[in-house]
Amino acid sequence: MCSSRLLALGLWLIAASASAAPAWEALGKPLAANEIASWDIDVRPDGVGLPPGHGSVEEGQVVYDTHCASCHGTFGESTDYLALAGGVGSLGTATPQRTVGSKLDYATTLWDYINRAMPFNRSKALSVNEVYAVTAYVLNLNDILPADAVLDERSLPQVEMPNRKGFTQAHGMMRADGKPDVRNTACMKDCLKTPPQVSSALPAGFTHQLYGELGPHFRQFMVAAPAAAAPTPAALAASNGCLACHAAQQTRVGPAFADVARRYAAVADAPAQLRQKVRAGGSGVWGSALMPPQTTVTDAALDQILGWILAGAAAP
Amino acid sequence: MSDPMRIRAAVKGEKVEVKILMSHVMETGQRKDAEGAVVPAHYITKVTASCNGRDVLSADWGPSVSKNPYLSFRFKGGAKGDKLKVTWTDTAGDSRSDEVSIG
């Protein structure tokens, strides 16, 4: 949730390179104002950056039940993914429960996060008004907003979060031995005395094993998409978010598509059976992990993807 | 006074699907606080649900149910607009009832 500053820095670099830096000439291209605008989505605590729009708790319940409840639970109580509600007032107690309701200091951050990142398997699929509505609903699940509340770009920054004054910088984040992370004064010149040693607490290759190529997880950001040839089934699987959990040959959160092909090779009505399963979601066939209902992929695309999967999910 | 339950009840085919989130500490009586003193038991012992006055669920609970319990069940014979009432009673003798219309 702290990416706004990084993004701002990125924009600054782009702007600098666009103005006059001959050494960089071969790199990139000057960005048009609308291209910059499509990246410049950060919303600040005081609401600067919020697009105009509105949504009610009532509308938010519909958005939530359709796009969020399968992972976060009907009341935001899920422990499988992340609880979104509860724990308000528990942070200082022996059993703190950290949710967006109990921990956030600004409601605008909740809007920004949902707008960027949720639903997990289809980020950026919601309209601006839907993000306002579902933000209102999540705040209502936390008893921060009443059931008849409506949010827009003016009222959202006025919402007072329970943990508004609870943030401190005096302690370390996560398990950084209690040391604060950022206590240095900025060095702007000849700063590296010794080369930095970057390391991770995770075993080597962990992220790659779990997710495979990271590229397909991030949608291509395109302002004006060139007229393209009809997408391949593999591309449809990527654009419909299937590759967030599946890969052709490796088991990830969900089974490898090649394994699915092997399992259903002799099943006559496999396409129909799998179409229903993917639409409805579920678990238990391959393990305990849950596939959320895939409601947004079109029938035509799903049929193409399933045909490709059942044929062994060969690379295009 | 305890916080209200969140209840959703909706007709799904032949049955009514009910989802309930209760707000309760559900202290087992086994836990010790920072000073080492046992935190006294305080948990829900009985949950009942009725549809227009007819009992559709009755459950005896013990200390192994988690804090802020989530309960989901289905029953036959309910219709849109019927009143679903849920009641719990705990070891301290406290009780709470909440009611919704089936949607």
Instruction: Report residue B58: phi and psi, to 5°.
Output: -145, 125
pTM: predicted TM-score of the whole model, two decimal places: 0.59
pLDDT at A194 over 70: yes
pLDDT of amino acid A10: 41
pLDDT of amino acid A208: 80
Structural domains in chain A, sorted by start? 41-158 (1.10.760.10), 233-310 (1.10.760.10)
pLDDT of amino acid A5: 42
Q: Which residues of B touch A (CB under 8 A)?
A: 3, 6, 8, 19, 21, 33-34, 67-68, 70
pLDDT of amino acid A217: 64
pLDDT of amino acid A161: 95
Distance from the Cα of A126 to chain B's closest Cα (Å) equals 24
The residues facing B87 across adjacent strands are B48, B97
Q: Does A73 touch chain B (CB under 8 A)?
A: yes
pLDDT-based confidence at residue A79 (cuts at 50, 70, 90): confident
pLDDT at A58 over 50: yes
pLDDT of amino acid A182: 64
Q: What is the mean pLDDT of chain A?
A: 83
Distance from the Cα of A289 to chain B's closest Cα (Å) equals 20
Residue to mutate among A70, A75, A144, with most B CBs inside 10 A, is A75
pLDDT of amino acid B99: 95
CATH H superfamily, domain B6-101: Immunoglobulins (2.60.40.10)
The tokens for A100 are 């967006």
Higher pLDDT, A80 or A207: A207
DSSP conformation letters of chain A: --HHHHHHHHHHHHHHHHHS-GGGTTSS-PPPHHHHHHH-----TT-TTPPS-EEEHHHHHHHHHHHTHHHH-TTS--SSS---S--TT-TTSSS----HHHH-SBHHHHHHHHHHH-SGGGTT-S-HHHHHHHHHHHHHHTTSS-TT-EEETTTGGG-B-TTTT---SSS-STTSTT--S--PPP--SS--SS------SSPTTHHHHHHS-SGGGS----SSPPP-PPPPHHHHHHHTTGGGT--SSS-SSS--HHHHHHHTTT-TTHHHHHHHHHHH-B-SSSSSPPBPP--SS-HHHHHHHHHHHHTT----
pLDDT of amino acid A281: 92
Model ipTM value: 0.72
pLDDT of amino acid A6: 39
Q: Does A95 touch chain B (CB under 8 A)?
A: yes
pLDDT tens per residue, range A248-299:
999 988 999 999 999 999 999 999 999 999 999 999 999 888 899 998 899 9
pLDDT at A137 over 70: yes
Mean pLDDT of B59-77: 93
pLDDT tens per residue, range A85-112:
988 888 888 778 889 999 999 999 999 9
pLDDT tens per residue, range B28-63:
999 888 888 999 999 999 999 999 999 999 999 999
pLDDT of amino acid A3: 41
Q: Which range is least confidently modeled, A164-173, A239-248, B33-42?
A: A164-173
Instruction: Give the C-alpha separation, A98 to A86, whole Å.
Output: 8
Asked if A43 contacts A108 with a C-beta cutoff of 8 angstroms, the reply is yes
Residue A229's Cβ-count burial label (10 Å; 0-12, 13-18, 19+) is exposed
SS (H, E, C) A206-222: HHHHHHCCCHHHCCCCC
pLDDT at A168 over 90: no
pLDDT of amino acid A22: 54
